[in-house]
């Protein structure tokens, strides 16, 4: 018997496993008839998943947690049995801000502490001159992009709530907003950073892997109630997406994968831009400067697809740090329960590989059993013990 499903996604490279699972027939091989629905904003995806218009969704990992906790919207418990990607975000800045940062830089341009301190000096100069605060675009209040920008800035002494302005923009609108001068910089997932560079209007300042070695980005999100009613379908989804992630990670398939993702109804940008993102070889400046990183985006390798509750704990800790919710032990437990390695393991039948460290560039190693200790390590934040 075939299960018919509607799954929402945003046009981003980390929707690759979702798209390839359908377009290469891996979902059909598992008895799934999937219709993919392209959306523009994360609020649309969340709302349609929550009310049942979508059976599953490509979703920001923090949104799955926020929905489960009832933060910022109605409470709808979500489970995430599959990671669609680790890393994949980047911080892109305007040519003017890039020049200002490089002028103030003391150290390696790829060292996030050096650039964060340079940003603090730029902010101080602008304040002294009476200039407007810098504006940074991010995709959603409950987003990795928001937390990654804040983590980076605050490490250098910039208070993201006092010293700059953070605004929400849907991923496909980031480039136009930078081009029009509405924002000075943004943090978004591939391919939109590369699109800005190719158009000559932005410089990629950092890959998120400079800030966090392993950062969960998007998950395959399913309503908890639906997953309990359809356990076999959930297992089939995990298997189909695991096959897709392995197909994507094979370098011999990258040209085909990029061509599929480039289709107008999928991501809708040039295939070469998508392939650069998958290969971790990106042009970071309009002058053609290239940068390679094996950690730019992980879709399936290094056990990236297996959910790690410690990653959920880190995201919950950022929600607390920035005043989106008070710290409560029961809420931390509920946040960690959103990520379901048990469902992944049961469906995949693969041996369990211990997850890698989150590896933040500042602060002590993250311990999910000591969130207060994590929060106390940072001077800037909204959390008070």
Residue ranges per domain, the chain? 3-85+217-268+302-307+324-353
Q: What pLDDT band is residue 353 in, cutting at 50, 70 and 90?
A: confident
Q: State the pLDDT at residue 171.
A: 87
Half-sphere exposure of 197 (CA within 13 A, CB side): 26
Q: State the pLDDT at residue 355.
A: 85
- Rounded to an integer, what distance in angstroms lies between the CA atom of residue 247 and that of residue 264? 21
Q: What pLDDT band is residue 328 in, cutting at 50, 70 and 90?
A: very high
Three-state DSSP at 281 gives strand
Is the pLDDT score of 354 beyond 90?
A: no
**Segment holding 58, helix H or strand E:** strand 56-60
Q: State the pLDDT at residue 385.
A: 81
Average pLDDT over residues 352-381: 94
pLDDT digits (tens, 9 = 90+) for 3-25: 899 999 999 999 999 999 999 99
pLDDT digits (tens, 9 = 90+) for 95-145: 999 999 999 999 999 999 999 999 999 999 999 999 999 999 999 999 999
Give residues with Cβ within 8 angstroms of 187, minimum separation 6: 89, 90, 91, 92, 136, 137, 138, 139, 145, 146, 148, 149, 208
Pure H helices in the chain = 16-23, 26-29, 42-50, 61-69, 95-104, 112-129, 144-155, 174-179, 192-198, 208-211, 224-229, 231-249, 254-261, 271-279, 309-321, 329-338, 341-348, 371-376
Give residues with Cβ within 8 angstroms of 61, minimum separation 6: 80, 83, 144, 216, 217, 218, 219, 311, 312, 315
Is the pLDDT score of 356 beyond 90?
A: no
- Rounded to an integer, what distance in angstroms lies between the CA atom of residue 154 and that of residue 84? 28
Show the CA angle centred on residue 11, arms to residues 300 and 316, nearest 5°: 65
Is the pLDDT score of 267 beyond 80?
A: yes
End-to-end Cα spacing for the chain: 54
- Rounded to an integer, what distance in angstroms lies between the CA atom of residue 294 and that of residue 311? 20
Q: State the pLDDT at residue 384.
A: 84
Q: How many residues does the chain have?
A: 385
| Residue predicted with more confidence, 350 or 149 | 149
Classified by CATH at the fold level, domain 3-85+217-268+302-307+324-353 comes out as D-Maltodextrin-Binding Protein; domain 2 (3.40.190)
Is the pLDDT score of 172 beyond 90?
A: no
Average pLDDT over residues 53-70: 98
Q: Are strands 89-93 and 135-138 parallel, antiparallel or unpaired?
A: unpaired
Q: What pLDDT band is residue 332 in, cutting at 50, 70 and 90?
A: very high
CA distances from 322 to 125, 168, 169, 373 (A): 25, 16, 19, 15
- Asked if residues 198 and 57 have their Cβ atoms less than 8 Å apart, the reply is no
Any idea what DSSP says for residue 158?
A: -
pLDDT digits (tens, 9 = 90+) for 253-262: 999 999 999 9
Buried b (16+ CB within 10 A) or exposed e, 160-197: beebbebeebbbbbbbebbeeeebbbbbbbbbbbbbbb
Poorest-pLDDT segment among 88-97, 108-117, 219-228, 346-355: 346-355
Closest CA to 336 of 226, 216, 230, 233: 216
Q: State the pLDDT at residue 163.
A: 98
pTM of the complete model: 0.96
Q: State the pLDDT at residue 296.
A: 96
Q: State the pLDDT at residue 78.
A: 98
| Residue predicted with more confidence, 263 or 351 | 263
Asked whether the CA dihedral 135, 359, 210, 339 is positive or negative, the reply is: negative
Average pLDDT over residues 48-56: 97
């Amino acid at each position: 018997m075939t299960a018919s499903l509607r799954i929402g996604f945003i046009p981003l490279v980390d929707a690759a496993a979702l798209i390839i699972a359908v377009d290469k027939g891996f979902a059909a091989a598992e008895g799934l008839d999937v219709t993919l629905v392209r959306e523009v904003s994360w609020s649309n995806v969340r709302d349609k998943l929550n009310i049942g218009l979508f059976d599953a969704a490509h979703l920001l990992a923090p949104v799955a947690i926020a929905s489960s906790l009832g933060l910022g919207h109605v409470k709808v418990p979500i489970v995430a049995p599959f990671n669609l990607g680790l890393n994949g975000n980047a911080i892109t800045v305007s040519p003017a801000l890039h020049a200002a940062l490089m002028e103030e830089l003391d150290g390696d341009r790829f060292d996030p502490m050096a650039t964060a301190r340079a940003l603090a000096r730029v902010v101080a100069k602008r304040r002294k001159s009476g200039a407007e605060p810098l504006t940074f675009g991010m995709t959603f209040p409950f987003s990795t992009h928001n937390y990654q920008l804040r983590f980076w800035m605050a490490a250098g002494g910039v208070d993201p709530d006092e010293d700059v302005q953070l605004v929400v923009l849907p991923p496909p609108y980031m480039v136009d907003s930078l081009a029009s001068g509405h924002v000075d910089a943004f943090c978004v997932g591939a391919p939109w950073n590369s699109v800005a560079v190719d158009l000559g209007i932005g410089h990629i300042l950092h890959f998120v892997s400079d800030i966090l070695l392993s950062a969960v980005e998007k998950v395959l999100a399913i309503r908890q109630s639906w997953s309990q009613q359809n356990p076999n379908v959930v297992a089939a989804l995990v298997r189909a997406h695991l096959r897709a992630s392995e197909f994507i990670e094979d370098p011999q398939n990258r040209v085909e994968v990029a061509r599929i993702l480039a289709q107008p109804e999928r991501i809708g940008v040039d295939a070469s831009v998508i392939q650069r993102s998958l290969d971790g070889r990106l042009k970071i400046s309009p002058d053609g400067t290239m940068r390679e990183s094996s950690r730019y985006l992980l879709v399936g390798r290094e056990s990236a697809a297996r959910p790690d509750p410690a990653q959920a704990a880190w995201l919950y800790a950022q929600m607390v740090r920035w005043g989106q919710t008070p710290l409560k032990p029961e809420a931390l437990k509920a946040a960690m329960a959103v990520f379901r390695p048990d469902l992944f393991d049961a469906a995949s039948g693969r041996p369990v590989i211990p997850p890698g460290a989150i590896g933040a560039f500042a602060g002590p190693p993250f311990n999910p059993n000591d969130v207060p200790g994590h929060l106390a390590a940072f001077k800037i934040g909204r959390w008070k013990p």
